[in-house]
């Protein structure tokens, strides 16, 4: 995670161009995933990717003639790997695989998650290590560009032998089965009907291809990429909220001294402190009370804010690295290794040096553990944010010069009292979500798959944690912006005042009691849009 002067975030927001995301034998970026999954960016496949796929496909077809067993190509799957399949049944084997493994349950995954999964699956195939024909990647590309999104039940993957059930739901739509969402429609339609309307034909699977479609960490990796993007925006917004709360509480700025963080060897804390100094630069609230009513020390939620958010920053750096690694990976099994890019005439170059290698690249633990860490990091962003909301609404320190619950007429009015309750409720749920999913185990596949990652469960927890944390930070911004009003005509720093003005574009000052749900939602929308960065 590169250092930014004003914002602690891992993924830079960029203006989305009309250019498609081009799939090559190389990797994808988090920005690519966001663009395709959320913004509908088109996808194209490079000639190099087509060449790589043809080369690995030639290896599969060559090996099928040597009489040897190859896992999932001419054998059964999982604990049935010792069952040899006749050549005449190889296509049926793959069809049976995707149908039988489409066994998920629960609410469908969000469209953005499924589009991300399709992108990652297509990108993995394009790296030329899965032994599939280019037509499979082209079918996924076509469906992405037409906006045909498979209905994928959210529960079913144990995150080890690939995200099998969710990916099988996608694979079924490639062959014309299952259901899809179409552009502008909230209700799914049968895939065959949508394909007929779009004038595209289902693909017919050949040897190895069903397995290649359902093996891989594409669900949990998509979630990781999108959540890293969202968590970076959250951290930047939380830093702004902390700066606003410092002035709202009339706190000292002594704990922003760079020398403190150098002594701790705390680089990320030092970066957060620098951002806070920038945001507060020019504050007359700060200079007024430091000259006339100096504070010696402040509560931890203020004084330790840079240290806590710095620790989160460091954690997000590691999580982003793990997500990025997965976007460059091939998590299929077995892998089909050709000697190089052989071009269109790949068949004539296949030799005994090419290989089909079975392993466990599909195991999700490299993603599951970081996703568990993400839920913990988000718990700390929210936890310390809620404590500052409590300070501003409930502490009633004379030095703060704030009214109880920031109500214009305390007693007659409750002001922002219950907004803090809501933040506390969110934090309570976040505590439960911080319990890791990856540390427990249940065996599957008659014991062949005896240690699973549970990465999809870790992803689902982290997704909920992002939602809750966003609301907690939004509540702090709501409360701090009202507290800043009570210090007028003094003003905060330029960066804080910019954030205050932004909040006032969607939420007016509190002049009398009103319903606060819409206010919180409006500020949460600004956070999700990256407006505080």
Cβ atoms of 267 and 8 within 8 Å: the answer is no
d(CA 241, CA 500): 10
Q: Residue 276: phi, psi to the nearest 5?
A: -65, -40
- Rounded to the nearest 10 degrees, the angle between the axes of helix 305-326 and helix 267-280 is 120
DSSP state of 161: S
Helix (H, G, I), strand (E, B) or coil at 154: strand
Task: Give which of 241, 211, 185 is closest to 388, Cα–Cα.
Answer: 241
Q: Which of 71, 261, 313, 390 is catalytic?
A: 71
- Phi first, then psi: what are they for 327, rounded to 5°? -75, -10
Answer positive or negative: Cα dihedral of 10, 4, 300, 427: negative
Exposed e or buried b per residue across 134-160, where buried means at least 16 C-beta atoms within 10 angstroms of its C-beta: bebbbbbbebbebbbbbbbbbebbbbb
End-to-end CA distance of the chain: 15
66 contacts: CB under 8 Å, gap ≥ 6: none
- Total Cβ atoms within 10 A of residue 200: 15
* CA separation for the pair 32, 49 (Å, rounded): 17
Q: Are 455 and 365 in contact (CB under 8 A)?
A: yes
Q: Judge whether 136 and 149 are in contact, CB under 8 Å.
A: no
Dist. CA 123–CA 131, nearest whole Å: 14
- Residues 404 and 402: their CA atoms lie apart, in Å, by 7
- Residue 313 annotated in active site: no
* Distance of alpha carbon 516 from alpha carbon 510, whole angstroms: 10
Report the alpha-carbon distance of residue 54 to residue 135 in Å, rounded. Answer: 10
Phi and psi at residue 527, in whole multiples of 5°?
-60, -50
Q: Other CB atoms closer than 10 Å to residue 408's CB: what's the count?
A: 15
Q: DSSP states of 285-319 as a string?
A: HHHHHHHHS--S---HHHHTHHHHHHHHHHHHHHH
- Catalytic residues, which ones? 71
């Amino acid at each position: 995670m590169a250092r930014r002067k004003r914002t602690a975030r891992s993924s830079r927001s960029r203006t989305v161009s009309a250019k498609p995301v081009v799939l090559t034998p190389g990797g994808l970026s988090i920005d690519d995933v966001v663009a395709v999954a959320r913004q509908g960016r088109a996808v194209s496949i490079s000639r190099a990717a087509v060449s790589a796929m043809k080369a690995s496909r030639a290896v599969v077809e060559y090996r099928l003639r040597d009489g040897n067993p190859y896992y999932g190509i001419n054998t059964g799957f999982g604990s049935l790997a010792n069952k040899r399949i006749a050549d005449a049944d190889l296509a049926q084997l793959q069809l049976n695989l995707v149908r039988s493994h489409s066994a998920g349950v629960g609410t469908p995954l969000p469209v953005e998650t499924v589009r991300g999964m399709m992108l990652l699956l297509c990108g993995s195939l394009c790296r030329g290590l899965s032994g599939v024909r280019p037509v499979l990647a082209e079918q996924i590309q076509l469906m992405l560009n037409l906006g045909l999104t498979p209905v994928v039940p959210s529960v079913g993957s144990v995150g080890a032998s690939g995200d099998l059930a969710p990916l099988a739901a996608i694979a079924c739509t490639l062959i014309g089965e299952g259901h899809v969402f179409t552009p502008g429609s909230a209700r799914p339609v049968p895939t065959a009907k949508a394909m007929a309307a779009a004038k595209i034909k289902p693909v017919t699977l050949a040897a190895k291809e069903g397995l290649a479609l359902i093996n891989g960490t594409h669900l949990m990796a998509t979630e990781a990429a999108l959540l890293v993007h969202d968590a970076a925006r959250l951290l930047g917004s939380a830093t702004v909220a902390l700066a606003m709360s410092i002035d709202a509480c009339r706190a000292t700025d002594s704990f922003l001294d760079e020398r403190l963080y150098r002594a701790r060897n705390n680089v990320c804390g030092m970066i957060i402190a620098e951002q806070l100094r920038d945001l507060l630069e020019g504050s007359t609230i700060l200079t007024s009370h430091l000259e006339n009513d100096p504070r010696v020390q402040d509560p931890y939620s203020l004084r330790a804010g840079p240290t806590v958010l710095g620790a989160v920053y460091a954690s997000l750096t590691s999580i982003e690295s793990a997500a990025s690694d997965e976007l460059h990976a091939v998590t299929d099994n077995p892998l089909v290794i050709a000697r190089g890019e052989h071009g269109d005439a790949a068949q004539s170059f296949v030799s005994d040096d090419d290989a089909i290698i079975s392993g466990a690249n599909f195991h999700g633990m490299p993603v599951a553990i970081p996703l568990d860490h993400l839920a913990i990091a988000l718990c700390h962003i929210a936890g310390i944010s809620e404590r500052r909301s409590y300070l501003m609404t409930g502490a009633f320190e004379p030095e703060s010069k704030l009214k109880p619950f920031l109500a214009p007429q305390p007693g007659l009015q409750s002001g922002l009292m219950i907004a803090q309750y809501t933040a506390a409720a969110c934090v309570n749920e976040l505590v439960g979500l911080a319990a890791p999913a990856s540390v427990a185990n249940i065996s599957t596949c008659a014991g062949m798959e005896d240690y699973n990652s549970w990465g999809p469960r870790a992803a689902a927890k982290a997704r909920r944690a992002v939602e809750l944390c966003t609301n907690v930070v939004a509540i702090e911004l709501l409360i701090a912006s009202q507290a800043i009003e009570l210090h007028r005509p003094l003003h905060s720093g330029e960066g804080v005042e910019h954030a205050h003005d932004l909040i006032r574009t969607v939420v007016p000052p509190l002049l009398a009691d009103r319903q606060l749900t819409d206010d919180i939602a409006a500020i949460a929308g600004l956070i999700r849009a990256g407006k505080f960065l």
